Structure 1
Amino acid sequence: MYPYLLRGLTIQYPNHVWGIDITYVRLKRSWLYLVALIDWCSRYVISWELDQTFEMDFVIEAVQRALSQGKPVILNSDQGSHFTSPKYINLLKQNEVNISMDGKGRALDNIITERLWRTIKYEEIYLKEYNSLREARQEIRNYFAFYNQKRLHQSLNYQTPEFVYYS
Structure 2
Amino acid sequence: AVCRPNQVWVSDITYIGKRESPCYLSLVTDAYSKKIVGFEVSQTMCTPHVVKALKMAQKQRKTNEPLIHHSDRGVQYCAEEYQYYLSKYQLSCSMTENSDPYENAIAERINGILKQEFMIDTYHLDLHLMKQIVAEAIDIYNNDRPHWSNHMLTPNQMHMKSNMNFRTYKTKNSSNLSATTV
* Contact preservation (8 Å) 1:28, 1:130: no
Q: CA deviation at 1:140?
A: 1.0
What SS class does the counterpart of residue 60 from structure 2 fall into?
A: coil
Deviation of the 1:68 alpha carbon: 1.5
- Comparing 95-104 with 20-29, greater Cα deviation is found at 20-29
1:128 deviates by 3.2
User: TM-score of the superposition, structure 2-length normalised?
Assistant: 0.81
Residue 129 (1) aligns with residue 118 (2)? no
Q: 1:139 and 1:109 mapped to 2: Cα distance?
A: 28
Superposition deviation, residue 106 in structure 1 = 1.5
4+ residue segments displaced more than 6 Å: none
1:62 offset after TM fit, Å? Answer: 1.1
Aligned mates of 1:46, 1:166 — CA distance in 2 = 13
**How far apart are the structure 2 equivalents of 1:153 and 1:121?**
16
**1:127, CA displacement in angstroms?**
6.9
- Give yes or no for the alignment of 1:96 onto 2:87: no
Name stretches of at least 5 consecutive residues in structure 1 with no aligned partner.
1-9
Percent identity between the aligned chains?
Answer: 28
RMSD of the alignment, in Å? Answer: 1.6
Question: In 1, distance between residues paired with 2:92 and 2:121?
Answer: 37
The equivalent position to 1:162 in structure 2, one of 152, 156, 159, is 156
Distance 2:121 2:27 in 1: 20
Deviation of 1:125 after TM superposition, in Å, equals 2.9
Gaps in structure 2 of 5+ consecutive residues:
162-182
2:12 is matched with 21
CA 1:120–1:91: 2 relative to 1, 3 Å:
same
What TM-score does the superposition give when structure 1 sets the normalisation length?
Answer: 0.88
**Pairing of 1:25-40 with structure 2 (within 5 A):** 25-27=16-18, 30-40=21-31
Name the CA shift for 1:127/1:65 in 2 (closer, same or farther; >3 Å).
closer
